[in-house]
Structure formats: C-alpha cells, structure tokens
C-alpha cells in the first residue's frame, strides 16, 4: 500500500476539527448528557496520546515538546485521610447533590497555572478511600479504551470499576432521608480536562496566529 504523508496544513485542519468536536461534546455534556464525557475522552486521546504504533495529533505537529497545559486541579495532600477529587467540586441544592466541573469559575485556591505536558498528564487528580490513585491520563484512556468511548472492554481494571460502579471515592448525600451515592466523578473530571485542553490549544493557536 502506497501512503501519502499529510501536510502540516492538513494536520492543522484536523486540529481545528478536533477542537470543534470537543466543544460540541462539551456543550452536550453541559446540557445534561454526561455520558458525552466518553467522546470527550476519545478526542483528547487523538490529540494527546502517543503509542509505539500511533502518534498523537499534537505530536505530529511537533507541539508536545515545550507545550504548556492549563492545570486547574487541586494538589493531592498525602496527609489527607479523605478521598480526593482535584478537578471537580460538589454542588448542593434542593435536597440533591452532584459533581460540578468548575471550568473557569473554580475556587481561587485552584492553581490555574500552565505546566509541561508530562506533569499535566500524570498529575494525580482522584484518590479513592482505598488510596487508589488516578491521573488525568488514566481517566482519559479508561473512558476511551475500556468504557465505551472507542471500545467496550468486557473486563475493567478493578480500581477503575470500584470508582465508577461502586463509589469507592465514598461521597454520599441524603435525599428524603435516604442515603444516595454521589456518582460520575470520572465523567465530570473529564469534562474539566476538556476545558483545560481547549484553553491550552486555543492559547497556542492565538499566540502563533495559526489559521
């Protein structure tokens, strides 16, 4: 099979397309369809994840080295005896509760700093009550590769299954005196990651006036 290498302008076209994919899925998520986080994860994987057999879109553009990403996640404190959800907040009201992706409206104690990709991708953003740790990359690849984004795996990693199916992060709320689990921390976390990716890529585009 003869292959033809895509030009840099074609790669930039793909970049703009993937930004539109992210924004469309983010809008759907914000309208209440939280499972859209799985498609956000797939698009983020296309943009950022390199393997031995495939290269990410930002890698093909040469943007992975020296590219800084917006970090809005609270730092994990090893002394913390409770669970940790560094990307999201908890919203309370009318006898119910849910996670919330703060986007650019988060607590002033959030870092809101730009850091190198390896540091950003591997930062711990969730720690459950059993001290299982999840990085940004863990969440993106789990949703994309195992849990319905681009593929459904019949077997899930136990720690991920406990987080997403059995509330191993351990937060509950009372609804009419009945205890209910606070769910979808992984989905809201990926929504916040998508906000960080969009902000970071658009900052790069604006800086270099990339059309």
Domain ranges of the chain: 8-208
Answer whether residue 177 shows pLDDT above 90. Answer: no
Give buried/exposed letters for 44-62 (b at 16+ CB in 10 A, else e).
Answer: bbbbbbeeeeeebbbbbbe
CA distance 191 to 81: 26
Q: Is the pTM of this model over 0.75?
A: yes
Q: Are strands 68-71 and 96-100 parallel, antiparallel or unpaired?
A: unpaired
State mean pLDDT over 6-34. Answer: 97
Average of per-residue pLDDT across 50-77 = 93
As a whole number of angstroms, the distance between CA 136 and CA 87 comes to 9
Residue 97: C-alpha distances to residues 76, 153, 162, 184 (Å): 23, 30, 20, 12
CA distance 206 to 83: 38
Q: Give, in degrees to the nearest 5, the angle at Cα 123 between 130 and 45.
A: 105
Of 136, 135, 115, 140, the residue nearest 200 (C-alpha): 115
The yes-or-no verdict on residue 8 having pLDDT over 90 is yes
Indicate whether 107 pLDDT > 90: no
């Amino acid at each position: 099979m003869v292959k033809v290498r895509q030009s840099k302008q074609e790669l930039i076209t793909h970049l703009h397309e993937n930004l539109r994919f992210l924004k469309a899925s983010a809008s759907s998520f914000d309208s209440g369809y939280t499972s859209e986080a799985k498609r956000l994860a797939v698009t983020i994987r296309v943009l950022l994840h390199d393997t031995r057999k495939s290269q990410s879109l930002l890698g093909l553009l040469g943007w992975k080295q020296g590219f800084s990403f917006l970090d809005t996640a609270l730092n994990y404190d090893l002394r913390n005896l409770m669970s940790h959800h560094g990307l999201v907040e908890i919203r309370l009201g009318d006898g119910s509760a849910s996670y919330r992706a703060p986007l650019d409206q988060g607590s002033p104690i959030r870092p809101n700093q730009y850091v190198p990709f390896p540091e950003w991708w591997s930062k711990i953003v969730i720690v459950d009550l059993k001290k299982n740790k999840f990085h940004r990359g863990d969440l993106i690849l789990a949703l994309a590769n195992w849990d319905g984004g681009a593929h459904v795996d019949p077997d899930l990693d136990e720690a991920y299954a406990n987080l997403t199916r059995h509330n191993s992060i351990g937060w509950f709320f009372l609804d009419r005196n009945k205890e209910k689990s606070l769910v979808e921390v992984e989905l809201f976390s990926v929504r916040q990651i998508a906000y960080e990716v969009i902000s970071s890529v658009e900052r790069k585009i604006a800086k270099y006036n990339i059309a």
